[in-house]
Amino acid sequence: MTFESLPEIAQSTIRQALAAGATDAECTISEGEEFSANVRMRELETLKDAGSRGAGLRVLIGKRMGASYTSDLSAEGIRQMVRSAIDLAALTTEDPHAGLPEPSQLGSLQGDLQLFSGETANLPTEQRIDMAMRAEAAALDFDPRISNSEGASFDSSVGGRVFANSRGFLGSYRSSYCSVSAVPVAVQNGGQANSMERDYWFTTARDYRGLEAPEEVGRKAAERALRRLGAVKVETQRVPVVFEPRVARSLLGNIFEAIEGRSIYRKASFLAGKLGEKVAVGNFTLIDDGTIPGLFGTSPFDDEGVPTRRTAVIENGVLRSYLLNTYSANKLGMATTGNASRGITGNAGIGHGNFFLEAGPRAPEDIIRGLKNAFYVTELIGSGVNTVTGDYSRGAVGIWIRDGELAFPVSEVTIASTLQEMLNGIGEIGSDLEFRGSVSAPTILIGEMTVAGR
Amino acid sequence: MSFSDSFFAAKFGISQRDLENHLSEALSRGGDYADLYFEYLATSSIGIDESIVKSATQGVSLGVGVRVIAGERTGYAYSDDLSPEKIKRAAQVAALIAAGPAKVEQTPLEEGHKRNLYPIITAPSDTAFKERVELAQRADRAAREYDPRVFQVQVSYADNLRQVMVATSDGVLNFDRQPLARMSVVVLARDGNGVPQQGHSGGGGRCELDFFRAERTPEYFAREAARQAIVQLDAVEAPAGEQTVVLGPGWPGILLHEAVGHGLEADFNRKGVSAFSGRIGQQVASPLCTVVDDGTIGGRRGSLNVDDEGNETQRNVLIENGILRGYLQDKLSSRITQTTMTGNGRRESYEHIPMPRMTNTFMLAGESDPEEIIRSVPRGLYCANFGGGQVDITSGNFVFSASESYLIEDGKLTRPVRNATLIGNGPDAMTRVSMVGCDLKLDEGIGVCGKEGQSVPVGVGIPTVRIDRMTVGGTA
């Protein structure tokens, strides 16, 4: 069964569902191959190479919905999937807002979105292992205190997606992804408490030629692990907090949860009902854009067959738009923003394209230089963010800023505030925006947060 | 059970001979060990929101994973097609981790385990879907009836039935049928147009559907979720800084999971990257602490007849009276370190390589009266329920978020507190356990543990415990 044969399977599934009594139907088929090579202490540790596929079906009988999926794409497997979805639809409740996008909303972006690289799919295994080896070696060779490692890896995946619905949409695309990452461990005066620290760095691309040099990844990861050695716990106090880009991304993830349509119509968000209001400082502009060629959040259509687009979510501090799929749009009396997202099981949820904070004017070094006593956060752990209330409290690791310099490492502390105060208290946004994944942010300075320690 | 009656033989016509051939293929390039993991997973889920059954999904996924170990190296491949040609091809791909002539011969397969920790005749997934929808609807109604301030209720119910078969090059052949069910209720409540607060409850296990009718009803979970949301309406900001913390019994055992459990997984320790590496026989916790991981408790969410490498699970003492006794082992780590296996090799699915993982992890009961523990604290924080937690196993630092906690003032629980995060260092925090209650309780059966991108169901448990000087991350 080739990728080229999947669209016909999707269309045939739709026909069978309609024949069995569905009034509307959607079928998603996805296939993927994954590869990973892990090396550790300069030896190959794991090789994984495999692929799988699956199909999902959602049917509507009037306003009742049922869904099913299968990894068996044989004629019999598909027949059972159709039967199962139709049976379930009879057991669900009528939902007045259930439905597919209107035919006029369906479509696919034209032109080459640069999502797939055949060369990456065909890269020889030796070359993949070599990239992981070089990344780890660069970390181990960087400093004698990098005396251990959790390893380095080259990962890649090649996937294909087909979507068809009963309103005439049929679309498909392929995509590829690869990354090199390293996780070195820095050790000092072995055996003591807090004598060991790890950190990581990575590079990602659609095409392997777009990856940063593995040596660069290894060195950067080593530097990051080393600078954490000897971390101390500071006194409890309120200070300005700087989020480095990797950490600032998680803050965007929290905002996404608070602006996606489902949390809005359930009123389970601190941003529900705030359209048109000022929710952040004036230099804060947050964009969702699924159309940028070659990036990780890009696709020609969303998972309901609606073309992706660029949406200004927060513009100069004012909340301009939620991110919606058809269902949440129907609930809110709005139109979908092309943000439907789903795997092969269940209903479409809501996802983002390239979700990013627009860069500011100043380099991160200049932002740090202006701070007397502040906390530069390089890692956050735990799940202490409540997007219903906005309450925010997470475990943090980072470097203390003294008189404009990164002075000493800090760990085992928490930072706390509310998302409302954080967004309205942003002092500066850095110029260092980079697209390393589908969520991207530059350095952010937050005016004041509670750092809890000793 | 005779092999020909087993699930995969009956449904897919796989013979014992086929398994041995595939394993020989996997060893053909010189691997030291190989195994096959067959999985057939049928899942169902129901989602209720705004009193509407908004989602109802059923599906099936199946496949086989082939693993080859050569020295410290692992080769892995899988197929979602169980035809002999496709399995053979996966075996050939996995075999490539070794380079050379075959050196290990396949040991004839012999069927292993006989016990059954979850002797369930009718799995929830084999009951009428309608009955499960009705249970979920009962939870929705009960949560709404609990208090007029409840304004949003979300109920999810999910069950699955996993059939597995493991065959290994050293002759192990095991089958297991693993049912699992879980109900979960999330409630939002508010005063007038005030800020909504959330409550969450749920549970289940490797049980029959009757568990939700007799032992833990939808009303039980619904009222608990609603109660928590209502309590939060009056909550004050959490204190910031070092505090005496008292953990309530049950789910707060997630502390052990994060502070201790992950750091004792053998892969991290073999590599020397855990804060607990090389510390067996040393004092790593207060003498009041005895921590076990037990995969053999009947019907529990974290229990398994055999782990995902075909070995019987067991009860493993990790820390005994504060002394570190052992790590959680899987096949690879026990081979490399020449240690006995502990039945902790687990994986998310046939697409995943097994790793050492926890099952049900808990602290044994101590002698203190729980009331007396609270009375002993002049000023501190009592944590009754938690959300998630996370640990950095290398530094040993862990955090977890309290979803229901109260100030302790003069030995009494006073005001509810919101937004409290606890942070500590594993080997250090456990030495500050100063009182352990007599009231050990296991959680309701809702835990999901994530490690290196793989999720597996687990259980936790703890008695009431007092920990001196933990950092609480609040704003007040």
Domain boundaries, chain B: 3-233, 237-473
Q: Which residues of chain B have a CB within 8 Å of the CB of A68?
A: 57-59
Q: Which residue has the tokens 């005001």?
A: B415
Residue B426 is encoded by which pair of tokens?
A: 């594993």
Q: In terms of domains, do A177 and A284 share one?
A: no
Are A447 and A420 contacting, i.e. CB atoms less than 8 angstroms apart?
no
Which three-class secondary structure state does DSSP give residue B427? helix
Q: Would you call A236 exposed, middle or buried from its count of C-beta atoms within 10 A (0-12, 13-18, 19+)?
A: buried
Residue A191 is predicted with a pLDDT of: 52
How far is residue B73's CA from residue B92's CA, in Å, rounded to a whole number? 16
Per-residue pLDDT of chain B in tens (476 residues, 90 and over written 9): 678 888 999 999 999 999 999 999 999 999 999 999 999 999 999 999 999 999 999 999 999 999 999 999 999 999 999 999 999 999 999 999 998 888 888 899 998 877 899 998 899 988 999 999 999 999 999 999 999 999 999 999 999 999 999 999 999 999 999 999 999 999 999 999 899 999 999 999 999 999 999 999 999 999 999 999 999 999 999 998 999 999 999 999 999 998 899 999 999 999 999 989 999 999 999 999 999 999 999 999 999 999 999 999 999 999 999 999 999 999 999 999 999 999 999 999 999 999 999 999 999 999 999 999 999 999 999 999 998 888 888 888 999 899 999 999 999 999 999 878 999 988 889 999 999 999 999 999 999 999 999 999 999 999 999 999 999 988 77
Residue B269: φ, ψ to 5°: -75, -40
Residue B474 is predicted with a pLDDT of: 80
Q: Indicate yes or no: CB of B57 within 8 angstroms of CB of A68.
A: yes
Give the mean pLDDT of chain A. 95
pLDDT tens for A76-131 read 999 999 999 999 998 888 999 999 999 999 999 999 999 999 999 899 999 999 99
> Of the candidates A196, A226, A256, which is a domain's last residue?
A226
ipTM comes to 0.91
Is the backbone of residue A107 left (phi > 0), alpha (psi -120 to 50) or beta?
left
How far is residue B446's CA from residue B474's CA, in Å, rounded to a whole number? 26
Any idea what the CATH number is for the domain that residue A85 is in?
Answer: 3.30.2290.10
Residue B331 is predicted with a pLDDT of: 96
Average pLDDT over residues A143-151: 95
Q: How confident is the model at residue A48 (pLDDT cuts 50, 70, 90)?
A: very high
Q: In terms of domains, do A138 and A279 share one?
A: no
Q: How confident is the model at residue A255 (pLDDT cuts 50, 70, 90)?
A: very high
DSSP B99-144: -SS--SPPPPPEE-----S---SS-GGGS-HHHHHHHHHHHHHHHH
CATH code linked to domain B3-233:
3.30.2290.10
* Residues 42-81 in B contacting A (C-alpha not used; CB under 8 Å): 43, 45, 47, 49-63, 72-80
How far is residue A64's CA from residue A43's CA, in Å, rounded to a whole number? 55
Q: In terms of domains, do A314 and A403 share one?
A: yes
Q: In terms of domains, do A442 and A391 share one?
A: yes
A218 pLDDT more than 60: yes
pLDDT tens for A220-233 read 999 999 999 999 99
Q: In terms of domains, do A100 and A45 share one?
A: yes
**A259: Cβ–Cβ under 8 A, 6 or more apart, which residues?**
A269, A271, A313, A319, A321, A322, A323
Give the gap in angstroms from C-alpha B400 to the nearest C-alpha of chain A: 6
Average pLDDT over residues A315-321: 98
A192 pLDDT more than 60: no
The helix, strand and coil proportions of chain B, stated in percent and rounded to the nearest 5, come to 25, 40, 35
**B71: Cβ–Cβ under 8 A, 6 or more apart, which residues?**
B32
Give the gap in angstroms from C-alpha A92 to the nearest C-alpha of chain B: 5
Mutate to test the interface with B, among A381, A385, A415, A417 (most CBs of B within 10 A): A381
User: Which of A46, A67, A381 lies closest to B57 in CB terms?
Assistant: A67
> Of the candidates A226, A243, A273, which is a domain's last residue?
A226
Structural domain containing residue A204: 3-226
Nearest chain B alpha carbon to A90: B130
Residue B399 is encoded by which pair of tokens?
A: 């955090």
Q: Indicate yes or no: CB of B471 within 8 angstroms of CB of A392.
A: no
Q: In terms of domains, do A47 and A113 share one?
A: yes
Q: In terms of domains, do A122 and A237 share one?
A: no
The percentage of residues in chain A with a pLDDT greater than 70, rounded to a whole number, is: 99
Q: In terms of domains, do A297 and A209 share one?
A: no
> Of the candidates A226, A246, A276, which is a domain's last residue?
A226
Q: In terms of domains, do A125 and A241 share one?
A: no
User: Rounded to a whole number, what is the distance in angstroms from the first to the last CA of chain A?
Assistant: 62
Q: In terms of domains, do A298 and A165 share one?
A: no
Residue A194 is predicted with a pLDDT of: 63
Q: Indicate yes or no: CB of A71 within 8 angstroms of CB of B54.
A: no
Q: Indicate yes or no: CB of B399 within 8 angstroms of CB of A394.
A: yes
Q: In terms of domains, do A147 and A245 share one?
A: no
Nearest chain A alpha carbon to B57: A67
Number of domains chain A is built from: 2
Residue B92 is predicted with a pLDDT of: 95
Mutate to test the interface with B, among A57, A388, A411, A446 (most CBs of B within 10 A): A388
Q: Indicate yes or no: CB of B129 within 8 angstroms of CB of A88.
A: yes
Q: In terms of domains, do A47 and A92 share one?
A: yes
How far is residue A399's CA from residue A397's CA, in Å, rounded to a whole number? 7
Q: Which residues of chain A have a CB within 8 Å of the CB of B45?
A: 345-346
Alpha-helix residue ranges (DSSP H) falling in B215-276 = 218-233, 254-256, 266-270
